[in-house]
Amino acid sequence: MNIAIIGYGRMGKTIERIAQTRGHHIVHIHNGGPMDLEALKAADVAIEFTQPEAAAENIAALLTHGIPVVSGTTGWLEHKASMDALAEQHKVGFLHASNFSLGVNLFFVMNEKLAAMMHAYPEFKPGIHEIHHTGKKDAPSGTAITAAEGVLQAYKELKGWTMNEDDQALRITADRLDPYFGTHEVHYTSDIDTITFTHEAKSRDGFALGAVMAAEWLPGKAGSFGMRDVLNL
């Protein structure tokens, strides 16, 4: 398959390596500046891992020109609904995931089941903690937000998530430390003990492999998708 890489940073370089080991060709790399839409015509699919302020513009340009997009950039989701609409309008595939690794997607499913069980025990209060490397620009992570949304499906009395102290909402805390590729912990704390449920990434390879698998799956499909569609979870 011919792949274009949009964003040639830590993730873009890892995706290039993993895609090549799976026999794909990297036909174009875009790392800022004006997009070369002529060169992008050679791509069956584009994989976009850039920065929160760049993602929506990149994705909109690609979808408008009929190029399927796999995007992993986090911190820009206020524009996601308009990207979903563009994918529908242009009958092209768009797949965004806050986290592409198989392990984290299993963690998301287990997190929802655990929250449904724990909600019956009000002495335990839920909370989320995430740790990433110091180069990460957004906080909390997109993965922590997805985990929070999973908890909130069971804890409907809470008013969304917050990074502040607020008993009425689900608290997310974040640390930026090196070297951390992404650690996410959902904890349930009572006055006498704490239960923790954790996913810890050991490298970026799991994210990159999931993104390449999504790129193999997406071409030929129209509309907006997530990693649960790819993994059939």
Ligand X SMILES: NC(=O)c1ccc[n+]([C@@H]2O[C@H](COP(=O)([O-])OP(=O)(O)OC[C@H]3O[C@@H](n4cnc5c(N)ncnc54)[C@H](OP(=O)(O)O)[C@@H]3O)[C@@H](O)[C@H]2O)c1
Q: Give contact residues for ligand X (rule: CB under 6 A).
A: 6-12, 30-32, 49-52, 54, 58, 72-75, 97-100, 136, 207
Chain position whose Cβ is nearest to ligand X: 9
Active-site entry in 24, 132, 184, 199: 132
Q: Three-state DSSP class for 24?
A: coil
- 128, 202, 133, 100 alpha-carbon torsion, rounded to 10°: -70
Q: Closest separation between CB of residue 71 and ligand X, Å?
A: 8
Q: Kindly state the tokens that stand for 233.
A: 């979870």
132 labelled catalytic: yes
* Cβ distance to ligand X smaller for residue 33 or 122: 33
Could you please report the per-residue DSSP string of 69-126? EEE---S-GGGHHHHHHHHHHHT-EEEE-S---HHHHHHHHHHHHHHHHHTT-TTSEE
Q: Closest separation between CB of residue 70 and ligand X, Å?
A: 10
* Cβ distance to ligand X smaller for residue 52 or 219: 52
Q: Kindly state the tokens that stand for 112.
A: 């929802």
HSE-up of residue 183 (Cα within 13 Å, Cβ side) = 19
90 labelled catalytic: no
* Cβ distance to ligand X smaller for residue 10 or 187: 10
Active-site entry in 28, 30, 136, 184: 136
Q: Closest separation between CB of residue 178 and ligand X, Å?
A: 13
**Residues assigned a catalytic role:** 132, 136
